[in-house]
Chains A and B, each alone.
Chain A
Amino acid sequence: MASKNSSNESEKDVKILDGTRRDFLKQSTLLTAIALTPAPLVRAAENGWDEKIAAVYEKVPLNIEVNGVKHQLSVEPRATLLDLLREQLDLTGTKKGCDHGQCGACTVHVDGHRINSCLTLGVMVSGKKITTIEGLAKGDQLHPMQEAFLKHDGFQCGYCTPGQIMSAVACIREGHANSETEIREYMSGNICRCGAYPNIVNAIQEVKDGGQTV
Chain B
Amino acid sequence: MKVIAPDKDGIKRVDGRLKVTGAIRYAAEYNFPGLVYGVLVNSTVAKGTMTAINGKAAEKAPGVLAVISHLNVPEVSGYKDGKAQPGSPFYNNQVFFNGQPVVLVIANTLERAKYGASLIKITYKVEPHQTNLDSNLQNAVKTGDDYMRGIANAYQSAPVKIEVEYRTPIHVHNAMEPFAVTSVWDGDKVTLYTKSQYIKGMQQDVMKLFNLPEANVQVYSKVIGGAFGSGSPLWPYAKAALIGSKVISKPLKVVIDREQMFTMVGYRSPAVQKIGMGASADGKLIGITHDAIGETATYQRFTEGITNTTCFLYDCPNVNTTYKLANLDLSVPTYTRGPGETTGVFALESAVDELAYALNMDPLGFRLKNYAETDLEQNLPFSSKYLRECYKQGAAQFGWNKRNQKPRSVVQNGWLVGYGLSTGAYWAGRAPSTAKARLSPDGILLIQSATSDMGPGTATVMTKIASEIINIPVENIKIELGSSALPPAAGEYGSMTTSSVGSSVYDVCTELKRKFNELGGNNDDNPNYVKILQDHKLPYLEVTRQSHPDANSGKYSSHAYNVNFVEAHVHPATGMVKIVRVVSVIDGGKILNPITARSQIIGGVVWGISMALMEGGVIDHRYGKYVNSNLGEYHVATNADVPQIEVIFIDKKDPVTNPMGSKGIGEVGIVGVAAAMANAVFNATGIRVRDLPITPDKLVQV
Which residues of A are in contact with B by a Cβ distance under 8 Å?
21, 25-26, 29, 32-36, 42, 45, 50-51, 54, 58, 76, 78-79, 83, 86-87, 90-103, 105, 132-134, 136-137, 142, 146, 149-151, 153, 155-162, 165, 180, 183-185, 187-201
Contacts and interface: CB of A to CB of B under 8 A. Distances in A.
Contact of A195 (B62, B68, B637): B637
Given A32-B61, A78-B111, 17 more contacts: A34-B66, A35-B106, A83-B110, A87-B31, A134-B23, A153-B12, A158-B20, A159-B226, A161-B19, A161-B22, A191-B631, A193-B226, A194-B226, A195-B606, A195-B607, A197-B602, A198-B642
Contacts of A161: 19-20, 22
A191 B610 CA distance: 12
Contacts of B4: none
5 closest Cβ pairs, A-B complex: A93-B22, A195-B606, A159-B225, A35-B66, A157-B455
Contacts of A153: 12-13, 16, 595-596, 598-599
Given A25-B62, A34-B66, A100-B258, A150 B20 contact: yes
B244 to A, nearest CB: 9
A93 B224 CA distance: 14
A156 B642 contact: no
Contacts of B20: 133, 142, 146, 149-150, 155, 158, 161-162, 165
Binding site secondary structure of chain B: loop
B636 interface: yes
A157 B29 contact: no
A50 B247 contact: no
Given A157-B454, A160-B176, A34 B65 contact: yes
Interface in B86-124: 106, 108-111, 115
Contacts of A151: 12
Given A29-B60, A99-B257, A158-B24, A191 B638 contact: yes
Contacts of A78: 111, 115
A18 to B, nearest CB: 13
A93 B21 contact: yes
B177 A97 contact: yes
B457 A156 contact: yes
Given A35-B248, A184-B640, A156 B600 contact: yes
Contacts of A97: 176-178, 258, 631
A16 B63 CA distance: 23
Contacts of B68: 35
Contacts of A189: 638
B17 A150 contact: yes
> Which size class do B's interface residues fall under?
35 or more
Interface string B612-648: 0000000000000000001110001111101111000
Given A50-B62, A142-B20, A197 B606 contact: yes
Contacts of B17: 142, 150
B644 A198 contact: yes
Given A26-B60, A97-B176, A184-B639, A198 B602 contact: yes
A78 B602 CA distance: 40
Interface string B201-221: 000000000000000000000
B39 interface: no
8 contacts: A92-B25, A98-B632, A153-B16, A156-B226, A194-B599, A195-B603, A198-B643, A199-B602
A66 B456 CA distance: 32
B645 A198 contact: yes
Contact of A79 (B19, B111, B224): B111
A98 B66 contact: no
A95 B255 CA distance: 12
- Most chain B beta carbons < 10 A, residue from A90, A159, A200: A159
A102 B633 CA distance: 9
Contact of B62 (A54, A102, A165): A54
A158 B603 contact: no
A91 B639 CA distance: 27
- Most chain B beta carbons < 10 A, residue from A156, A159, A195, A200: A195
Given A159-B225, A197-B606, A150 B16 contact: yes
A194 B455 contact: yes
B68 to A, nearest CB: 7
Contacts of A157: 175-177, 223-226, 454-455
Nearest to B224: A157
A189 B20 CA distance: 18
B135 interface: no
Contacts of B224: 157
A142 B21 CA distance: 8
Contacts of B258: 97-100, 102
A58 B62 contact: yes
A136 B19 CA distance: 13
B667 interface: no
Nearest to B670: A195
B12 A150 contact: yes
Nearest to A133: B22
- Most chain A beta carbons < 10 A, residue from B28, B31, B226: B226
B605 interface: yes
- Most chain B beta carbons < 10 A, residue from A26, A87, A133, A155: A87
A62 to B, nearest CB: 14
B636 A191 contact: yes
Nearest to A167: B639
A160 B603 CA distance: 14
B228 interface: yes
A21 B595 CA distance: 55
B312 interface: no
Contacts of A93: 21-23
Nearest to A143: B20
Given A151-B12, A165-B20, A103 B176 contact: yes
Contacts of A32: 59-64
B12 A185 contact: no
B467 interface: no
- Most chain B beta carbons < 10 A, residue from A25, A146, A190: A146
Nearest to B29: A92
Contacts of A87: 31, 109-110
